[in-house]
């Protein structure tokens, strides 16, 4: 079942989650179907129309408009409504805009990229990791992952470290056996 996202477009993630455990390699390179949807701000439900990839923009728009005209109060678990001809025309125009913008294919490619990166890192990749260098613990490096999850290491400027990290010695900590220990305050 496809559900609308808060961004107003359908969730391809929902479609893939409904499938049994699919490996990234088994996913089609491009979205195997087309889908359009429309929801008027005053409606309590969204209308969607899905068809094969070869369907024309006009066929998709007509299918969505017909779905809106066929809606009645008894549909959508009692949340349906009788829609006007003008609402069907608005949906027709919205469907054409969605197909021309290719938003569903873009969202699908973005989802494929996220799955690729997740598998590369074995989980959600960090946006940034700040850590001391092995050679000199007073110097810091920053690991930053790009959109494809490829890590790049930069030397961290001292101003960045000062803004983000507090030097333990400034907090009355001391080194013991290679680790920082903090003195506890007595109450």
What total number of domains does the chain contain?
2
Indicate whether 81 belongs to any domain: yes
Give residue-wise pLDDT tens across range 119-140: 889 888 988 888 888 888 778 8
162 and 136 in a common domain: yes
Q: Are strands 128-132 and 47-52 parallel, antiparallel or unpaired?
A: unpaired
The pTM (predicted TM-score) of the whole model is 0.56
Indicate whether 88 belongs to any domain: yes
Tell which residue, 165, 171, 166, 168, has the closest CA to residue 179: 168
How far apart are the C-alpha atoms of 38 and 130, rounded to whole Å?
Answer: 44
Residue 97 clears pLDDT 50, i.e. is over it = yes
30 and 93 in a common domain: yes
Indicate whether 6 belongs to any domain: no
What is the percentage of the chain residues whose pLDDT exceeds 90?
Answer: 11
Range of the domain at 86: 12-121
77 and 41 in a common domain: yes
Query: Strand (E) positions, 19-127?
Result: 33-38, 47-52
Residue 22 clears pLDDT 70, i.e. is over it = no
Indicate whether 26 belongs to any domain: yes
Indicate whether 2 belongs to any domain: no
Best mean pLDDT range from 27-31, 69-73, 117-121, 131-135: 117-121
């Amino acid at each position: 079942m496809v559900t609308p996202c808060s961004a107003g477009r359908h969730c391809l993630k929902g479609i893939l989650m409904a499938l049994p455990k699919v490996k990234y390699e088994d996913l089609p390179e491009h979205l195997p179907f087309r889908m359009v949807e429309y929801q008027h701000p005053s409606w309590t439900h969204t209308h969607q129309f899905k068809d094969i990839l070869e369907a024309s923009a006009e066929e998709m728009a007509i299918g969505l408009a017909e779905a809106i005209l066929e809606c009645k109060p008894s549909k959508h678990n009692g949340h349906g409504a009788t829609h006007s001809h003008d609402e069907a025309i608005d949906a027709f125009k919205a469907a054409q805009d969605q197909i021309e913008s290719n938003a569903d294919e873009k969202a699908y490619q973005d989802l494929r990229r996220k799955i690729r990166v997740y598998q590369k890192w074995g989980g959600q990749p960090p946006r940034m990791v700040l850590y001391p260098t092995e050679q000199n613990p007073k110097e810091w490096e920053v690991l930053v992952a790009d959109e494809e999850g490829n890590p790049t290491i930069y030397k961290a400027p001292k101003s960045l470290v000062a803004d983000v990290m507090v030097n333990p010695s400034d907090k009355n900590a001391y080194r013991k056996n290679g680790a920082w220990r903090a003195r506890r305050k007595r109450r």
